[in-house]
Amino acid sequence: DAKTTQPPSMDCAEGRAANLPCNHSTISGNEYVYWYRQIHSQGPQYIIHGLKNNETNEMASLIITEDRKSSTLILPHATLRDTAVYYCIVRVGGTGNQFYFGTGTSLTVIP
């Protein structure tokens, strides 16, 4: 699986949009981009994933560049409960394919 690079930490004001970048310059054509988050001492929570089109769900939006070498997770209106470590992962789709976690971005939402 391709490696990802994320900033180690970010702050965001409550109510504002949080934009979390991820670099995956060696991504392969059949690899998806996944985003998970982990609130302290809990299991990771699925947020969103995409292949090449931008995606949106009730939690967030995922913007993938046209060359697919980077992506941005957008939390449109950050709340204090969004404080967590956010992981960007790239992997080939399929039942048995593993997730390899990088170091992630620790997002702190400030009141």
Residues in contact with another protein by the rule CB under 8 A: 32, 34, 36, 38, 41-46, 49, 87, 93-96, 98-104
Q: Which is nearer to another protein, 95 or 111 (CB)?
A: 95
- Least Å distance, CB 48 to another protein, is 9
d(CA 93, CA 74): 22
Residues 6+ apart with CB under 8 A from 111: 14, 80
DSSP SS3 for 74: strand
- Least Å distance, CB 100 to another protein, is 6
- Least Å distance, CB 72 to another protein, is 19
